[in-house]
A and B are shown apart, each in its own frame.
Chain A
């Protein structure tokens, strides 16, 4: 029995958001991951982002594949439906779910093994289809759940815990997502909640395929010297291009931002992203620029983080398919079935 229920008690003085929900309303079961696992920090950031956005927890569908990372949807938004599907195939399940009901918020959680190896194809195709989702890869460069094998995002030359050197080239999911036309692309670090929380919030507000690659060290198998996905390594090589705040229903620009270094992006849902530029030249609306910027920094061993690309006017798969606004799962026979008189005509045409 591995299931651990969280005690129901909550402090009466807890802060409430616009919906009157407290933090506790966004939590899930107690994590069974290793203490200190980066994935738990991402869970905390998701909780924080949903709390801040005042999302109704049950309006979120959280879908994952298989892996330590894919277990995490059980640990947040306890009142929403979750789906731990099969290894690497979260994207298709999410796509189907999204087609069935366009009114929910879709959170896809995956691992680097899940998305960059077995599920690389599904990752790519869900992005290129523009499925309206927030796709988070909890990227630790190893297979955590199967105990430490290199994953396809492990950098060439990096070392496993047992000292084996990885000789394969790494897949950079951010570069691929950009290439495939994702309309919201970000990278962050599980140890940097200040950066990660608003990124998740902004991604949720984005209509279209949002992709966030979160470097999330695996303390059990990939947090040693020689790893390029350890806490220390990421802290030392993190090169943030911007920091952001997501403003929902509030005044767009807070006063403490120095003019000229803040850019405001309005999203389709009315939320605004205030981007504080750290790298003054970085333009998050330039897909090509983002690609070359990433490549140049990767060559120097730097991990670029922040909101790397956003297209605020993005369309999603439903727009491409021109589907009705009413969720397909609510349509009944009277809306769907052409009826017997049409069938009689069809019969007549087949004689």
Chain B
């Protein structure tokens, strides 16, 4: 019935599952993604879910990508339409020549389909109901049955899926065999009744290598374990809760004293974000490595304490898993929208260190490094993730740890050092890097104690409202922030094949889409040098990059181009030379989007020579 040639593609397509929240489809859908990985073919999956528990639509999208593109692609080649509520929109979203997979138990009027797609009906409900009587079983196994049918349609190796089921239900024989049975129910039905395979196929490959498949939040939590965090205080909020939950799980596994069974960590679910950051600050003040994980609204609440951490110079680590704001915004959608809120959090003149990991591997590394940095710089360190990295599985290089690594506890004066007669002034800049020494409470009977406060004080921590004393301290804080430039992860630059006047700056979860967009732009004839920013304060190479290019695009996922604002503000450059490329509808930015936005702008630049901007 199709008037468009069906899409034919091996190892390069997008399958989207439309489900009803609470139907238990998540694990079957994830198994589909993992099964493709087991074929040696990279995938990039994304959860698209509502901010309620049951009933509303959810989508799970699997980008099958031999080329290894890990950003979202946009468009859907095959829709597994299991949610009647969103049927019309789902069907409309299929690329011309694409495929629609649906439960054909109940007949549908032909108006519900499209002529330019291939429709594949499997009577899932009928098959399920004739096999199972228990309603929950019916619901759950229906998902495995469609997984089985898909495996036949896409020519996947069922053994690899069986293997996965085996791993998932290890030691639970009954569940294992019933899942395998359901898989084959669907698979056999498809093989007997449908033309298998279709144009989309999964073929074994070797493109996955030793990469791992992990969510950013889980990797960050593991980073906290490796980085030596012993105190975690948190308050539930999507999309950050799974950081604390993963930290708890990792600690339970790896952080109990084998002899006593006692915990080498303390995790407190605070009564709110104020308490959580207060606990972090109290613990860090007292020499433990502590962190909290939160999202935008939590950051808003924490700002008074963040100012205290800045001014009183107390280490703290905050993992901010950003979601779409402002206010409650879209709590389960992704954005990079707290850049300004975090960079300048709190009243008065403040500046904070931000780290921008691009994937779970960096989330792990940066999370671990955040504790060194917090203690080294004695300030708050923000690990800026977002929902797209935090709550989606991503393929990334394996996590690595150097066993020779010792924690950098920063400048801490010990009892011995005090005994030696070293001059201790809590806010003395002894080394000229703006970073003073601190002492832990209880260090020495008569030396090194001081009073921590958010009020102005002199270099010896004595309360003072003397203007010059205050200014001296504020200047040292600026020095300290300059020192931080060289301590935080540096930006990474990649140049175009040919010299170019154009550059692009991007960061965090935008990375994979940007990497792919570069290829699309090159194909369109545009050469761009790239700079991936990995931290604030900006390293001097950011200023150099800006100086070397006439126009620099800044790609980010918020309305107001917040990173661009920060670059303009901190580098004092002409804003006209920084072109904002923004995407903020809550879905992850795609290569197609970036390539179009930059490409159009570049084309425009070529046609109309730019008039000198008057400011």
Q: Name the CB-closest residue of A to B37.
A: A351
- Which B residues are CB-close (under 8 A) to A339? 401, 403
- B452, A331: Cβ atoms closer than 8 Å: no
- A343, B441: Cβ atoms closer than 8 Å: no
Q: Which of B399, B407, B439, B451 counts the most chain A CB atoms within 10 A?
A: B451
Q: A121-B272, A336-B255 are in contact. Are A3 and B462 (CB under 8 A)?
A: yes
Q: A93-B282, A328-B288 are in contact. Are A84 and B254 (CB under 8 A)?
A: no
Binds A, one of B171-179, B262-270, B567-575: B262-270
| Bound CA span A34–B458, Å | 24
Q: Name the CB-closest residue of B to A339.
A: B403
Q: A61-B442, A73-B451, A343-B399 are in contact. Are A329 and B278 (CB under 8 A)?
A: no
| Bound CA span A318–B264, Å | 11
| Bound CA span A208–B248, Å | 25
Report B385-410 CB contacts with A as 1/0, cut-off 8 Å: 00000000000001111110111000
| Bound CA span A101–B440, Å | 10
- A95, B282: Cβ atoms closer than 8 Å: yes
- B452, A333: Cβ atoms closer than 8 Å: no
Q: A80-B449, A85-B278, A96-B282 are in contact. Are A332 and B406 (CB under 8 A)?
A: yes
- A81, B230: Cβ atoms closer than 8 Å: no
Q: Is A122 on the interface with B (CB-CB < 8 A)?
A: yes
- B463, A2: Cβ atoms closer than 8 Å: yes
Q: Is A203 on the interface with B (CB-CB < 8 A)?
A: no
| Bound CA span A350–B213, Å | 5
Q: Name the CB-closest residue of B to A87.
A: B304
- A74, B279: Cβ atoms closer than 8 Å: no
Q: Is B308 on the interface with A (CB-CB < 8 A)?
A: yes
Report A68-99 CB contacts with B as 1/0, cut-off 8 Å: 00000110001111111110010111111111
Of A99, A101, A325, A336, the residue contacting B268 (CB under 8 A) is: A99
Report B439-468 CB contacts with A as 1/0, cut-off 8 Å: 111111110011111110010001111100
CB distance from B448 to the nearest CB of A (A): 9
Q: Is A59 on the interface with B (CB-CB < 8 A)?
A: yes
**Which A103-136 residues have a C-beta within 8 angstroms of B?**
103-104, 121-122, 124-125, 129
CB distance from A133 to the nearest CB of B (A): 11
- Which A residues are CB-close (under 8 A) to B244? none
| Bound CA span A115–B450, Å | 24
What interface size band does chain B fall in? 35 or more
Q: Name the CB-closest residue of A to B283.
A: A96
- A332, B226: Cβ atoms closer than 8 Å: no
Of A80, A86, A97, the residue contacting B286 (CB under 8 A) is: A97
- A100, B464: Cβ atoms closer than 8 Å: no
- A81, B233: Cβ atoms closer than 8 Å: no
- Which A residues are CB-close (under 8 A) to B449? 58, 78-82
Q: A84-B451, A121-B272, A323-B266 are in contact. Are A343 and B278 (CB under 8 A)?
A: no
| Bound CA span A79–B447, Å | 7
- A59, B442: Cβ atoms closer than 8 Å: yes
Q: A89-B305, A95-B279, A343-B401 are in contact. Are A101 and B406 (CB under 8 A)?
A: no
Q: A58-B444, A96-B282, A331-B230 are in contact. Are A81 and B403 (CB under 8 A)?
A: no
Q: Is A340 on the interface with B (CB-CB < 8 A)?
A: yes
Q: A1-B466, A336-B230 are in contact. Are A93 and B401 (CB under 8 A)?
A: no
**Which B245-300 residues have a C-beta within 8 angstroms of A?**
254-255, 257, 260-268, 270-272, 274-288, 290
- Which B residues are CB-close (under 8 A) to A57? 445
- A96, B231: Cβ atoms closer than 8 Å: yes
Q: Is B436 on the interface with A (CB-CB < 8 A)?
A: no
- Which B residues are CB-close (under 8 A) to A104? 286, 441-442
- A322, B263: Cβ atoms closer than 8 Å: yes
Q: Is A35 on the interface with B (CB-CB < 8 A)?
A: no
Q: Is B156 on the interface with A (CB-CB < 8 A)?
A: no
- B282, A94: Cβ atoms closer than 8 Å: yes
- Which A residues are CB-close (under 8 A) to B37? 351
| Bound CA span A301–B23, Å | 60
- Which B residues are CB-close (under 8 A) to A346? 222, 399
Q: Is A321 on the interface with B (CB-CB < 8 A)?
A: yes
- A61, B441: Cβ atoms closer than 8 Å: yes
**Which A155-191 residues have a C-beta within 8 angstroms of B?**
none
- B278, A93: Cβ atoms closer than 8 Å: yes
Q: Is A249 on the interface with B (CB-CB < 8 A)?
A: no
Of B283, B440, B465, the residue contacting A2 (CB under 8 A) is: B465
CB distance from B157 to the nearest CB of A (A): 16
Q: Is B214 on the interface with A (CB-CB < 8 A)?
A: yes
Of A59, A79, A91, A329, the residue contacting B287 (CB under 8 A) is: A329
| Bound CA span A126–B602, Å | 59
- A336, B228: Cβ atoms closer than 8 Å: yes
Q: Which of B233, B278, B304, B451 counts the most chain A CB atoms within 10 A?
A: B278
Q: A3-B462, A86-B304, A332-B407 are in contact. Are A323 and B263 (CB under 8 A)?
A: yes
- B401, A340: Cβ atoms closer than 8 Å: yes
Q: Is A14 on the interface with B (CB-CB < 8 A)?
A: no
| Bound CA span A323–B464, Å | 40
Of A1, A59, A92, A129, the residue contacting B282 (CB under 8 A) is: A92
| Bound CA span A322–B263, Å | 6
- B290, A321: Cβ atoms closer than 8 Å: no
| Bound CA span A10–B452, Å | 27
- Which A residues are CB-close (under 8 A) to B267? 321
- A1, B464: Cβ atoms closer than 8 Å: yes
- Which B residues are CB-close (under 8 A) to A344? 398
- Which B residues are CB-close (under 8 A) to A74? 451, 463
- B279, A96: Cβ atoms closer than 8 Å: yes
- Which A residues are CB-close (under 8 A) to B275? 89, 91-92, 95, 121-122, 125
Q: Is B212 on the interface with A (CB-CB < 8 A)?
A: yes
| Bound CA span A309–B587, Å | 56
| Bound CA span A133–B290, Å | 20
CB distance from A88 to the nearest CB of B (A): 9
| Bound CA span A98–B287, Å | 11
- Which B residues are CB-close (under 8 A) to A97? 282-283, 285-286, 441
Q: A58-B446, A97-B441 are in contact. Are A125 and B271 (CB under 8 A)?
A: yes
Q: Is A299 on the interface with B (CB-CB < 8 A)?
A: no
CB distance from A71 to the nearest CB of B (A): 9
Having A82-B450, A350-B213, one finds 19 other A-B pairs with CB under 8 Å, namely A1-B464, A1-B465, A81-B451, A84-B453, A85-B452, A92-B277, A96-B279, A96-B285, A98-B282, A101-B288, A323-B262, A324-B257, A328-B265, A331-B228, A331-B230, A336-B255, A340-B402, A343-B399, A351-B212
Q: List the 5 closest pairs (A to B, CB-CB), nearest first.
A: A96-B282, A92-B278, A100-B288, A81-B441, A329-B287
Between-chain CB contacts (< 8 Å), 26 pairs: A1-B465, A1-B466, A2-B463, A63-B282, A81-B442, A82-B451, A84-B452, A86-B278, A92-B233, A92-B275, A93-B282, A96-B231, A96-B285, A97-B283, A99-B279, A99-B282, A100-B286, A100-B290, A104-B441, A122-B271, A321-B266, A322-B262, A328-B265, A333-B405, A336-B225, A343-B399
